A and B are shown apart, each in its own frame.
Chain A
Amino acid sequence: MNRMALRNVVNTQTVALVGVLLLNWVLFPGFFRIEWQDGRLFGSLIDVLNRGAPVAILAIGMTPVIATKGVDLSVGAVMAMAGAVAASLVVAGYPAWIAVSGALALGLACGIWNGILVALLDIQPIIATLVLMVAGRGIAQLVTEGSIVTFSDPTLVFIGTGSFLGFPMPVVIAFALMVLVTLAVRKTAIGLFIEAVGVNRSAATLAGIRSRLLLIVVYSISGLCAATAGIIVAGDIRGADANNAGLWLELDAILAAVIGGASLLGGRFSIPMSVVGALIIQAMNTGILVSGFPPEFNLVVKAGMITLILMIQSPLAGHILGWFGRGKRGAA
């Protein structure tokens, strides 16, 4: 039983994360130092968690979508819209809880819209969510009227920069969401349904799964997660930047899910591993920054990493590895 639990924790993703962190430690000896100051933890490691939280939250929503053989390209634009709505509501004098619920409601609405396009109109997910990806940022700019709306509402700022039990608030929110969604999909049959729809939607429907409703729910969760990330990012910079909030983060979220072992062909996913994937991406970003390379170098490293993962995951590598495995067994 203990060995089973250990096997669940020790796998390619966690080994890779530890490897990247150790590499950072070699490049920057103070990397693992964590200090307690003013009632919260400080240190590079905490920074990785904190900066990685928005992508982790997006990845939590993106992973079930990818597991249904879909993809949600609109999350970055939804982040921008949610931030814009929250900021504008607060600036207009509404209390913070209305601003937050307004932003979350918008995320939910965007998710339902995507879900309807995919589930009811049978449009390919890439294209269905492309509509909102293109239009969403325009709508966000419409809400902020083209400027960066700044605010100083204590609650929103707390969501972005506050701390709870010593941990930064974004980390706490991301962790809570991870636990919540993981329990929801793994302790009920929903996870199995999602995988079934991802492997073969018509077969799943014939087997009695209400795949249309399921798809709408899955895209709604993604929209909600994106809105949450949008509120956090807006709270962090105390303003809503419709142009740059969440720009290209949809790609990071997809990458995190793929690193986490989710198959883009659907049917296989793990929420905690996607979160680990998001942390790997952030640890690499931080590593590149502390080692003095220009931040643009990031993109090249990311490209190399995707290629490596693709090679490992590809059927061809499976054949080669299987061949080696057979060879070994034959020799033994």
Chain B
Amino acid sequence: MNRSLRPLLATVVIFAIAYAAAVMQFPALFSTRVLGNFLTDNAFLGIAAVGMTVVIISGGIDLSVGAVIGFTGVLVAVLVTWLGVHPLLAFAIAFVVAAAFGAAMGLVIHYLEVPAFIVTLAGMFLARGGASVITQDSVPIDHPFYKMITSLYFRLPGGGRLTFLGLTMIAVFIIGAILVHRTRFGSYVYALGGNTTSASLMGVPVARTTILIYMLSSVLACLAGIVFSLYTSAGYPLAAVGVELDAIGAVVIGGTLLTGGYGFVFGTFVGVMLLGLVQTYIIFDGTLSSWWTKIVIGFLLFLFIVLQRLVFAASAQGDKAPGRA
């Protein structure tokens, strides 16, 4: 067993145990209906988490994703409902805006040498404030195109529905995994996360890669915002508050190191599913209040952080620098 795969393995094992335990208590959890809803309900979080994984592997952090999701929802809703633009054109405009936004953050992070934490914090304020300035109310979207997309699904055996939104998330995870693990851009991302100076000395185009990373994160957050607006059929400036924390949580639980240079896109998928499982379990139980979700997620975060410390402290004596998967 490859040592560097241990945190990923731990995540998968913990998810399997948690799911098995939940199924023992509520056998209804083991059905394609529940699994299908897992994918649909967490689609926006999963898509945003893929972008966050790339950012964190590169040694950065992006606190603006929740705000970008909210902003995209409002922008699309306003364009479609107030200005009568076709949703597809509205999506295209939103993608351009998000890409420019992410590129601007990447530029500031690289050229002004400011910690990503504070730059994306400013980005979060800007996007959230911008959305609130456009409108403070929830803007409903009532367009035939929206109805058409939300009614698209495959029927799974057992009555479950694999919706278009769920499929979009799976597609993003697959493309994200190929991008990170199998392309030159991906190896640049790992190199940056390992050590920026040595990456630069080895000829990695640091400026371009940094800008692309934050562009990718904002564009994926924008896609997550579109998915969220399809999911709720509305745009609301305070939508998806705190999703950045859930996304970071999913990435950490998925075994990606917050110091950068090490992580897996697939781990993030398991992390998102684990967060979804916690929520679904609490809904199934019925007696536990919703705040238990936060406590359990906090505990899971703690568990995985400590686990990572122990695994890496153990492997530090052996082979340092686990490298890419």
A binding-site residues for B, Cβ under 8 Å: 71, 117, 121-124, 126-128, 130-139, 141-142, 146, 242, 251, 254-255, 258, 264-265, 294, 296-304, 306-307, 310-311, 313-317
Structural contact, B125 and A310, CB atoms closer than 8 A: no
- Which single member of A135, A139, A258, A298 contacts B297 (CB below 8 Å)? A135
- Which single member of A71, A117, A139, A299 contacts B129 (CB below 8 Å)? A299
The 6 residue pairs across chains A and B that have the minimum distance between CB atoms: A135-B298, A299-B129, A138-B294, A296-B132, A303-B126, A141-B291
A313–B111 Cα gap in the complex (Å)?
Answer: 12
A315–B155 Cα gap in the complex (Å)?
Answer: 57
Q: How many A-B residue pairs have CB under 8 A?
A: 129
Structural contact, A71 and B117, CB atoms closer than 8 A: yes
Structural contact, A299 and B125, CB atoms closer than 8 A: yes
Question: What are the interface flags for B273-309 relative to A under an 8 Å C-beta threshold, 1 for contact and 0 otherwise?
Answer: 0000000000000000101111101110110011001
- B245 cross-chain contacts in A, Cβ below 8 A: 130, 133-134
Structural contact, B122 and A303, CB atoms closer than 8 A: yes
Structural contact, A311 and B122, CB atoms closer than 8 A: no
Instruction: From known contacts A302-B125, A306-B125, A314-B112, infer whether A139 and B295 are also in contact, taking CB-CB under 8 Å.
Output: yes
Contacting A at CB under 8 A, from B247-289, are 248-249, 252, 258-259, 289
Question: Interface of chain B, helix or strand or loop or mixed?
Answer: helix
Nearest residue, chain B, Cβ from A307? B122
Instruction: From known contacts A124-B258, A146-B291, infer whether A307 and B298 are also in contact, taking CB-CB under 8 Å.
Output: no
Structural contact, A264 and B117, CB atoms closer than 8 A: yes
- B117 cross-chain contacts in A, Cβ below 8 A: 71, 126, 264
By size class, the interface of chain B is 35 or more
A209–B129 Cα gap in the complex (Å)?
Answer: 44
Contacting A at CB under 8 A, from B89-134, are 108, 111-115, 117-119, 121-123, 125-126, 128-130, 132-133
Judged by a CB distance under 8 angstroms, whether B61 is at the interface is yes
20 contacts between A and B (CB under 8 A): A121-B305, A122-B309, A126-B117, A130-B245, A130-B248, A132-B298, A133-B245, A135-B301, A135-B302, A136-B298, A138-B292, A141-B294, A251-B125, A258-B118, A296-B237, A297-B133, A300-B130, A304-B126, A315-B113, A316-B111
Structural contact, B118 and A134, CB atoms closer than 8 A: no
Nearest residue, chain B, Cβ from A134? B298
- B119 cross-chain contacts in A, Cβ below 8 A: 310
- A132 cross-chain contacts in B, Cβ below 8 A: 298
Judged by a CB distance under 8 angstroms, whether B183 is at the interface is no
Nearest residue, chain A, Cβ from B301? A131
Question: What are the interface flags for B23-39 relative to A under an 8 Å C-beta threshold, 1 for contact and 0 otherwise?
Answer: 00000000000000000
- A136 cross-chain contacts in B, Cβ below 8 A: 298
Judged by a CB distance under 8 angstroms, whether B136 is at the interface is yes
In the complex, besides A254-B121, A302-B125, A304-B126, 11 extra interface pairs with C-beta distance below 8 angstroms are A124-B258, A134-B249, A135-B297, A141-B294, A146-B291, A255-B121, A299-B125, A299-B126, A299-B128, A310-B114, A316-B112
- B128 cross-chain contacts in A, Cβ below 8 A: 299
- B133 cross-chain contacts in A, Cβ below 8 A: 294, 296-297, 300
Contacting A at CB under 8 A, from B111-165, are 111-115, 117-119, 121-123, 125-126, 128-130, 132-133, 136
Nearest residue, chain B, Cβ from A143? B291
The smallest C-beta distance from B275 to any residue of chain A, in angstroms, reads 11
